[in-house]
Amino acid sequence: MERVNETLPPCPECSSDLTYEMGSLLVCPLCAHEWSNEPVEKEQEAVVKDAFGIVLTDGDTVSIIKDLKVKGQSLSIKVGTKVRNIRLVDPVDGHDIDCKVDGFGFMQLKSSLVKKV
């Protein structure tokens, strides 16, 4: 099937080749999707840094720099506790590290409370 207009891209929603321009937008007559023809800049991945500004990556080993109280337990995670094989995730209430802390299990930590070992 040959595209009607060779200069306009197909619809990103339904792949129709019947797109047309309406002002600064491109429009698909089949699914009524409207979009800009401007090139989309790729979002930069957020860089996660520890308390001292060192960039963290998945699989790093970090050390806790402050005693941390754990909800639902009478014990706290002590300063200097090493956490191995961290995984960086999208922040949830500022907690951007998923990990397993020995003796406490799986939990999320804030990168501002750890340092890279």
| pLDDT tens per residue, range 79-113 | 999 999 999 998 888 899 999 999 899 999 999 99
Contact 89, 97 (CB under 8 A): yes
Whole-number Å distance between alpha carbons of 116 and 79: 13
User: Residues 95-104, buried b or exposed e (16+ Cβ, 10 A)?
Assistant: ebbbbebeeb
The residues of the chain that CATH labels 2.20.25.10 are 8-41
Residue with tokens 């860089």: 47
pTM > 0.75: no
Whole-number Å distance between alpha carbons of 98 and 106: 7
Task: For 8-41, give the CATH class.
Answer: mainly beta
Task: For 61-116, give the CATH class.
Answer: mainly beta
Q: How many CB atoms lie within 10 A of CB 21?
A: 12
Measuring CA to CA, how many Å separate 42 from each of 24, 33, 38, 48, 67? 21, 21, 12, 18, 39
Instruction: Please tell me the least confidently modeled range out of 1-5, 44-48, 56-60, 92-96.
Output: 1-5
Q: Is the pLDDT of residue 1 over 50?
A: no
The residues of the chain that CATH labels 2.30.30.40 are 61-116
